[in-house]
Amino acid sequence: MNNNLDYQFGMYAPATDSIIINTGENSVLIIRCKECNSSVTFDDPNDVVYLYRLAKETPLLYAELAMKENGLQDYVDAMNEFN
């Protein structure tokens, strides 16, 4: 996948549990959070809230991490270190 996409706008769509990103030139990228979140191993199942908060508050960062190998896992691990 091209990690040099120009993310112009992104939003979380709760009805589909997806992040929709306008990448310019009339194209969009859709990231399905449930599928991405299922690849993360949680110490506590309630830690999934870290990812839902990230998706809702900073959808572009969620998308960036979701497209990196272990990006979301590293994020959850870091949140567990801080809390």
- Cα–Cα dist 82/52, whole Å: 17
Contacts 24+ apart (CB under 8 A), 22-30: 29/5, 29/63
Render each residue's pLDDT in the chain as its tens digit; 83 residues: 445 556 678 999 999 999 999 887 788 999 999 999 999 999 999 999 999 999 999 999 999 999 999 999 999 999 999 88
What are the φ and ψ backbone dihedral angles of 80, each rounded to 5 degrees? -65, -35
pTM: 0.86
Give the single-character DSSP code of 25: T
pLDDT at res. 24: 79
Which of 79, 21, 16 lies closest to 49, judged by CA? 79
